[in-house]
Structure 1
Amino acid sequence: MTKFLTRLADDPRGTAMIETALLLPLFLTLLLGILIYGQYFLLAHSVQQAANDGARAAITGLDAADRRAVAIRAIDRSMRGVGGYRGELRSVLVSETTDAVTVKLAYHVPETSLLHSALVPAPGDIISASATFELPVE
């Protein structure tokens, strides 16, 4: 066995094969990490944009219940383009003061997402965002 390894190490093709065997797992892990964190940043951006859209739409509501309903519809419309989005995975909190409406959105990452990979540690299962818009002055 040692004679085979010595011959393999002396041959340039054998050296390339050994280097590939050592570096390929590291390269694949790095590539998978780039894909996972890329998906996380895309999803985090989408959640923030949905919170912005919800708050922007909520200022048109007539009362608190109407503002919440309008915000949820805007969030669902905004998140529709996100793969695997389901309304039951999000929670929305709409709060208001006399001069502003704040929408807080928490989105639970679906189990089928690449973010649940065991090879690379994921940032988290819940992505949260909030947005505040001022109410129009009457």
Structure 2
Amino acid sequence: MTGSIHPVRPCRKPALTGATLMRDERGAAIVEMALVLPLFLALLMGVLVYSQYFMLAHSVQQAANDGARAAIVGLDAADRRAVATRAVGRSLQAVTGTHTIAVSETAEAVTVAITFTAPPDSILRSSFVPAPGNVIRARATFELPVD
């Protein structure tokens, strides 16, 4: 065997025909991701926005319940209003946002109404998905003890 050198043939790609292009799956994953990713992100943002809304709505309703429950121990209308306001403040101290409290009283019951507004940097004010609103209202009524 003498030192014969075999010529190196250049590597040729097969010709791209219609049938070959139909079977070629290169880049399919990126196209699928480009179609699915925006939908997935919208769904994820929707879950985050509505979970924060439901958490805040529950907190505001619980604060109204606490205020009305605490108000029944007051001696007169002014005392009940002060007690209810303090109880609502304690319940909402960990929640960021502004709130207003309205305490109304009849001969039979005390009603505490709260209007809560989410802060400007809240995810509820995101425009990526339709949000339920940044103002939450809750009210609770407790009957006064009969003398």
TM-score, length-scaled by structure 2 = 0.81
2:62 equivalent to 1:53: no
Q: Name structure 1 gaps, 5 residues minimum.
A: none
**What does 1:21-100 align with in structure 2 at a 5 Å threshold?**
21-82=34-95, 84-85=96-97, 89-100=98-109
Secondary structure at the aligned position of 2:129 is classed as: coil
Any stretches of 5+ residues in structure 2 without a counterpart? 1-15
CA contact (8 A) 1:9 1:15 kept: no
Deviations 1:86-117 (A, max 9, x none): xxx11111111111101111001111111010
Measured after TM superposition, the shift of residue 10 of structure 1 is 5.0
Divergent runs of 4+, >6 A? none
- Rg bigger for which structure? 2
CA distance in 2, matches of 1:129, 1:8: 61
Please tell me the root mean square deviation across aligned C-alpha atoms, in Å.
Answer: 1.8
TM-score, normalization by structure 1: 0.86
Amino acid at match of 2:59: S
Give the structure with the larger helix fraction.
1
CA distance in 1, matches of 2:22, 2:92: 54
Number of equivalences: 129
Equivalent in the alignment of 1:120? 129
